[in-house]
Amino acid sequence: MKATGMIRRVDELGRVVIPKEIRRTMRIAEGEPLEIYTEGDGLILKKYSAVLNLGAKVEPYVRTLHHHTGLAVWVVDTHRVVAATGPHTEGVGGLPLSTAVEEWCAMRKPRMGELSSIVESTPCPYPQVSLYPLLIEGDLYGAVLLGGEEITASAHSLLQVTATLLCYRLQGV
């Protein structure tokens, strides 16, 4: 844990303002959920990720989509890679997303095209990338991405089905 030297008071409603500089550097957006932990006499705030909390339950979806498409498959929350399999995916779990992927996700609609990078500071190894957002009642939870030489219409359909099933899983259906 790193001290910031910043002190904030709790208001009468129990609220504490997180300074703008910390929100910016930690990429905490307005309305973003945070988990609260206690440790001794301290509080720890962590970004909450419902997709990350699915843990190993995401793996069968990723492996199945890769098996049927032959393409690289990535499942991401709004800030980092949660799971990936296929070419050029070794060691990417937990890495921060590139601004380009975050912007595609923020559009909240399926996208296909070229990306300069998927993870921060690493060139995208795929000529084509297709993204399908994980949306539940208008809230963005992340996305499923395919990457490869050519993404067919059937691969894109399987991407949509996989994203839909993951959304059901996130809702506990």
Q: What is the CATH number of the domain that holds 126?
A: 3.30.450.40
User: What is the DSSP annotation of 33-59?
Assistant: -EEEEEETTEEEEEE--HHHHTGGGGH
* Residue with the larger pLDDT of the pair 86 and 136: 86
> What's the pTM value of the predicted model, to 2 decimals?
0.77
Q: What is the CATH number of the domain that holds 20?
A: 2.10.260.10
* Residue with the larger pLDDT of the pair 77 and 29: 77
Domain limits for position 34: 1-48
pLDDT in tens, 46-96: 776 667 777 788 899 999 999 999 999 999 998 899 999 999 999 999 999
64 lies in the same domain as 147: yes
123 lies in the same domain as 40: no
What is the structure's pLDDT at 128?
A: 97
Say whether pLDDT at 14 is over 80: yes
44 lies in the same domain as 99: no
In whole angstroms, give the CA distance from residue 91 to residue 29. 27
Tell me which amino acid residue 136 is: I
Say whether pLDDT at 173 is over 60: no
What is the structure's pLDDT at 48?
A: 67
What is the structure's pLDDT at 43?
A: 82
130 lies in the same domain as 71: yes
Quote the number of domains for the chain: 2
Category of 159 on φ-ψ map: left (φ > 0), alpha (ψ -120 to 50) or beta: alpha
159 lies in the same domain as 120: yes
